[in-house]
Amino acid sequence: MTDRLPGFNTLAIHAGAAPDKTTGARATPIYQTASFVFDDVDHAASLFGLQAFGNIYSRITNPTNAVLEERIAALEGGTAAVAVASGHAAEFLTMNALMQPGDEFIAANKLYGGSINQFNHAYKNFGWNVVWADTDDPASFERAITPRTRAIFCESIANPGGVVTDIAALSDIAKRHNIPLVVDNTMATPYLIRPFEHGADIVVHSATKFLGGHGNSIGGLVVDGGTFNWAGDDRYPTLSKPRPEYAEMVLAENFGNFAFAIAIRVLGLRDLGPALAPFNAFLILNGIETLPLRMQRHCDNALAIANHLAHHPAVAWVSYPGLETDRYHGLARRYSPLGSGAVFTIGLKGGYEAGVKLVSNLQLFSHLANIGDTRSLVIHPASTTHRQLTDPQKITAGAGPEVVRLSIGLEDPADLIEDLDAALA
Ligand SMILES: *Cc1c(COP(=O)(O)O)cnc(C)c1O
Q: What rounded mean pLDDT belongs to the chain?
A: 96
Q: According to the model, what pLDDT value does residue 371 have?
A: 94
Q: What is the mean pLDDT of residues 84-106?
A: 98
The CATH code that applies to domain 292-424 is 3.90.1150.10
- Of 88, 192, 379, the one to substitute when testing ligand 1's pocket (max ligand atoms within 8 A of C-beta) is 88
Q: How far apart are CA 204 and CA 17, in angstroms?
A: 22
The 10 Å Cβ neighbour count of residue 241 is: 15
Q: Is the sign of the CA dihedral 378, 380, 383, 387 positive or negative?
A: positive
What is the per-residue pLDDT across 348-404, written as a single tens digit (0 to 9) for each?
A: 999 999 999 999 999 999 999 999 999 999 999 888 888 877 888 888 777 899 999
- Delimit the domains of the chain by residue range: 8-287, 292-424
Q: What is the mean pLDDT of residues 131-147?
A: 97
Beta bridge partners of 152: 106, 181
Instruction: Give the strands of the sheet with 366-367, arranged side by side.
Output: 315-319, 343-348, 403-407, 377-379, 366-367
Hey, which bits of 97-214 come out as E strands? 104-108, 129-133, 149-155, 157-158, 163-164, 181-184, 202-206
Higher pLDDT, residue 100 or 387: 100
**3-class DSSP assignment, residue 129:** strand
- Distances, alpha carbon 51 to alpha carbons 172, 232, 249, 321, 328, in Å: 37, 22, 10, 48, 48
Q: How far apart are CA 304 and CA 320, in angstroms?
A: 11
How would residue 86 be classed by pLDDT, with cut points 50, 70 and 90? very high
Q: How far apart are CA 157 and CA 173, in angstroms?
A: 19
Ligand 1 pocket residue status of 171, Cβ below 6 Å = no
How would residue 1 be classed by pLDDT, with cut points 50, 70 and 90? low
Ligand 1 pocket residue status of 184, Cβ below 6 Å = yes
Ligand 1 pocket residue status of 187, Cβ below 6 Å = yes
Beta bridge partners of 318: 346
Identify the residue whose C-alpha is closest to ligand 1 atom 2.
Answer: 206
What is the per-residue pLDDT across 29-77, written as a single tens digit (0 to 9) for each?
A: 999 999 999 999 999 999 998 999 999 999 999 999 999 999 999 999 9
Q: What is residue 271's DSSP assignment?
A: H
At 361, phi and psi to the nearest 5?
-85, -20
**Is the pLDDT at 99 greater than 90, yes or no?**
yes
Report DSSP letters for 145-172, one per residue. --TTEEEEEEESEETTTTEE--HHHHHH
Q: How far apart are CA 29 and CA 285, in angstroms?
A: 11
Q: Which is the closest atom of ligand 1 to the Cα of 208?
A: 7
The DSSP H or E segment spanning 279 is helix 278-289
Beta bridge partners of 81: 223
Beta bridge partners of 130: 105
Q: Measuring CA to CA, which residue among 28, 91, 34 is closest to residue 59?
A: 34
Distance 35 CA to ligand 1 centre (A): 29
Say yes or no: domain 8-287 is CATH 3.40.50.2000.
no
What is the per-residue pLDDT across 140-154, written as a single tens digit (0 to 9) for each?
A: 999 999 999 999 999
With beta carbons less than 8 A apart as the criterion, state whether 242 and 404 touch: no
Q: How far apart are CA 205 and CA 217, in angstroms?
A: 13
- Of 159, 163, 204, 216, the one to substitute when testing ligand 1's pocket (max ligand atoms within 8 A of C-beta) is 159
Q: According to the model, what pLDDT value does residue 232 have?
A: 96
Ligand 1 pocket residue status of 340, Cβ below 6 Å = no
